[in-house]
Chains A and B, each alone.
Chain A
C-alpha cells in the first residue's frame, strides 16, 4: 500500500518536473541557493535584490520583444540586434539634434520608430521568403547588420562633441555617456527607496505598460490571428488570414520592441554602447524567455517576467556570491553555460505541434 503511494507521489513529481523542464528546475534551484547563500557568505542581501530588480527593469523589454515572433511561428528572434540598431540610431540622432534630459529619451523613441518599422518590414519580407529556416538566418542578419553599422558609426557625419572621438572630430565613440541626456530617465520617476532597497518604479511601470499592451494586442482580432498563424498555418490560411502580412507585422513589432528595449537598457545603464556591443545581445534575451518557460513556438508575458527575473537574478548574484565564497569569479562562464545550455535544450526538444 505504502509502496504504491510513493510511486504515485514520485510520478507526480516527475510529471511536474517534466512539464516544468529539468533545466528550468536546475536554474530556479540554483537561484534559490544563491539567495540563501548570499547572506551566509556575507553579501549584502538587499543590495542583491536591488540589483536584480534594476537589471530586470533594464532587460525585460528586450525579452518581451521575443513574444510576437514566437507567436507568429517565426521562432526565437535571434535577429534582435537589428532592432537594437534602430534604437541606437534613435539614441544617437536624438543627441545629435541637441535634445536634453527626458526629452532626449522621448525623441530617441520617436526617431527610432521609423527605422524600426522600415528595418522590421524588410526583415519580415526576408523571413517570409525562407520559412522554416528563420532562426539561423535571423542570427546572421543580426550579425551582418551589426558589422555593417560598425562601418556606419565611423562614417556617418555625426558632429556632437559629446559623441565623436575628441582627436579626430569624427566617428562615434564606442561608449557614450548619457549624463545630461536620458540617464535614469525612467528609473528616477517615482523611485522608491526603503533602506538599501531601491526600486526604479518608472522603468518597471513602463515595462508593465508595454507588457499590458502586448497582452491586450494578443487578444485583439489581429493578435489571435497571429497566434493562429503560428500554431496552425494551414488552418489560418483556410480562415482567410494573410499569413505573410501577419508574420511581417509580428517581425515589425518585435523589432520595434527591441529598439525601445535598448533605449530603456541604456537609460538604466547610463551609457550607449556602439560597434560590436549589440552583437551578442540576442542570446541573453532568448535564453531569458526560454528559462521563463517559453519554447520555440510558445511564449507568454508570464514567461517573459519569470524568465527575466531568473536570468538577471543569476547574472547579478553569481559574481558576488562566488567571489565571497571561493574568491574566483566564475560568473561569466556559468552565465555562458546556463544561457546557451537553455537555448540548446529548447532547440533539441521535439517541438510540440
Chain B
C-alpha cells in the first residue's frame, strides 16, 4: 500500500510540482480569485480544443505531435480568406473551419507520410516539419498572397501590394462563439457554447477509441509489427491519425483565434504547439499515454502558472521580465523532463524484456 502511494506520487510528479508552483505564486501575485477564475475559464475555452487534437497521435504511438502547428497554419490561412471575403460572426467561424479542412488534410497527409519514413524518430521529425512548413507558410502568405492568391481588402494586405499584414483583425467575429450563450455568475463569464463544443469533442474522442479505426490505432501504438501481422494497414492508420490531429488542430486554432480577436500572421502559430504540448504534459500526460482528464488539468495548472508567473516574478525579483522568461523556461523544462522520463522508461522496458528473455532461455536450458 505504501509503495503504491509512492508510485502514485512519482507518476504525478509534474502536476504536483505545478500545484506547488501555483500555490507559491498565487498569493505573491495578488490577483483576486474572481479574476483568476475568469481568466482560467477564458483560457480553457480558448485552448482545450487545440490540446485535445494531440490525443489521437499519442494513441497511435506517434508521440507528441509537434506537427499540430500545421493545422494552426491551415486555420490562419482559412481565417485570412474568410476575413477577406467579409464573412462575419459564427458563419465566418464555421466557414473558416470548413476552408481549413482541405489544407489541413493535405498538410497532415504530407506530415504522416514523412513520419512513416522516419519511424522511431517521429517527434524530432514532426518538429522539423513544423519549421519547414513555417517557411513555406511565410512564402505563401508573405509573397504569394496578393499577386497570385487574390486578396482584395487593403486592411489585410501590406501597403506594398503583396503579403499580409502583421496582424489581421478578426473584430467582426471576435468572441462570437464565446458570447453566443454566455452566462455570467458573479462576474465570471462562462462561454457555454464553446464549452459545449469542447465537451462534444471529448465525447467524440471517447467514441472514436471504440471504433474499429480507434482500436487499430491503439494496436499500432502498442506494437507495429504485431499490428501488421494482425492485418492492420499500419502506415495508413498512422497517416490517418496525423490527418485527424491536424484537422482538429485547425478547428482548435479557429476557436483560439476567434477568442483572441486578431491573428498575428507570422507569430500566432509558431509557439502554439510548444505551449499546448507543455500544457498537456503538465496535466500528467506522458509521451505514450494521455487522457482527456490530463487535458483539462493541464490547461488549468499550466495557465494558472502562465498568468501568475510574471507578476510573482516581478514581486520577488523586481523585474517583470524574469517572470516572462520563467514561464517560457518552465514550458521547455516540462517538455524536456517528460521526454527524458519517456525515453528512460522505454529503455528500462527494453532491458527488462531482454533480461526476461535471457531468464526464459536459461530456464529452458535447465529443463
CB distance from B134 to the nearest CB of A (A): 7
Q: Which of B121, B131, B317, B343 contacts A336 (CB 8 A)?
A: B131
CB distance from A5 to the nearest CB of B (A): 35
Q: A135-B124, A340-B131, A344-B132 are in contact. Are A328 and B143 (CB under 8 A)?
A: yes
Are A132 and B120 in contact, CB atoms less than 8 angstroms apart?
A: yes
Q: Nearest CB to that of B120 among chain A residues?
A: A132
A116 at the interface (CB under 8 A from B): no
Are B114 and A348 in contact, CB atoms less than 8 angstroms apart?
A: yes
Instruction: State how many residues of chain A have any CB contact under 8 Å with chain B.
Output: 38
A133 cross-chain contacts in B, Cβ below 8 A: 121, 339, 342-343, 346
Q: Nearest CB to that of A146 among chain B residues?
A: B332
B321 at the interface (CB under 8 A from A): yes
B226 at the interface (CB under 8 A from A): no
Q: A132-B120, A139-B127, A155-B322 are in contact. Are A150 and B344 (CB under 8 A)?
A: no
Interface of chain A residues 127 through 146 with chain B (CB within 8 A)? 129-133, 135-137, 139-141, 143-144
CB distance from B218 to the nearest CB of A (A): 22
A283 at the interface (CB under 8 A from B): yes
A191 cross-chain contacts in B, Cβ below 8 A: none
Q: Which of B143, B328, B342 contacts A330 (CB 8 A)?
A: B143
Are B114 and A344 in contact, CB atoms less than 8 angstroms apart?
A: yes
Q: In the docked arrangement, what's the CA distance between A283 and B135, Å?
A: 13
Q: A133-B339, A333-B143 are in contact. Are A151 and B332 (CB under 8 A)?
A: no
How would you classify the secondary structure of chain A's contact residues: helix, strand, loop or mixed?
helix
A126 at the interface (CB under 8 A from B): yes
CB distance from B157 to the nearest CB of A (A): 14
Are B347 and A130 in contact, CB atoms less than 8 angstroms apart?
A: yes
A130 cross-chain contacts in B, Cβ below 8 A: 339-340, 343-344, 347
Q: A139-B127, A171-B319 are in contact. Are A347 and B121 (CB under 8 A)?
A: yes
Are A144 and B336 in contact, CB atoms less than 8 angstroms apart?
A: yes
Q: How large is the interface on B (under 10, 10 to 19, 20 to 34, 35 or more residues)?
A: 35 or more
Q: In the docked arrangement, what's the CA distance between A16 and B340, Å?
A: 40
Q: In the docked arrangement, what's the CA distance between A171 and B332, Å?
A: 23
Are A147 and B125 in contact, CB atoms less than 8 angstroms apart?
A: no
Which has the most chain A C-beta neighbours within 10 Å: B125, B128, B335, B343? B128
Are A337 and B347 in contact, CB atoms less than 8 angstroms apart?
A: no
A180 cross-chain contacts in B, Cβ below 8 A: none
CB distance from A318 to the nearest CB of B (A): 13
Are A136 and B120 in contact, CB atoms less than 8 angstroms apart?
A: no
Are B343 and A144 in contact, CB atoms less than 8 angstroms apart?
A: no
Interface of chain B residues 293 through 336 with chain A (CB within 8 A)? 317, 319, 321-322, 325-326, 328-329, 332-333, 335-336
Are A151 and B322 in contact, CB atoms less than 8 angstroms apart?
A: yes
A30 at the interface (CB under 8 A from B): no
A258 at the interface (CB under 8 A from B): no
CB distance from A288 to the nearest CB of B (A): 15
Q: Nearest CB to that of B329 among chain A residues?
A: A147
Are A347 and B321 in contact, CB atoms less than 8 angstroms apart?
A: no
Q: Which of B120, B336, B347 contacts A140 (CB 8 A)?
A: B336
Interface of chain A residues 304 through 351 with chain B (CB within 8 A)? 328, 330, 332-334, 336-337, 340-341, 343-344, 347-350
Are B139 and A330 in contact, CB atoms less than 8 angstroms apart?
A: yes
Are A348 and B117 in contact, CB atoms less than 8 angstroms apart?
A: yes
The 17 listed contacts between A and B (C-beta, < 8 Å) are A129-B347, A137-B339, A140-B335, A140-B339, A144-B336, A147-B329, A147-B332, A151-B322, A154-B317, A155-B322, A283-B131, A334-B135, A336-B131, A336-B135, A343-B128, A344-B128, A348-B114
- Interface residues of A, Cβ cutoff 8 Å to B: 78, 126, 129-133, 135-137, 139-141, 143-144, 147-148, 150-151, 154-155, 171, 283, 328, 330, 332-334, 336-337, 340-341, 343-344, 347-350
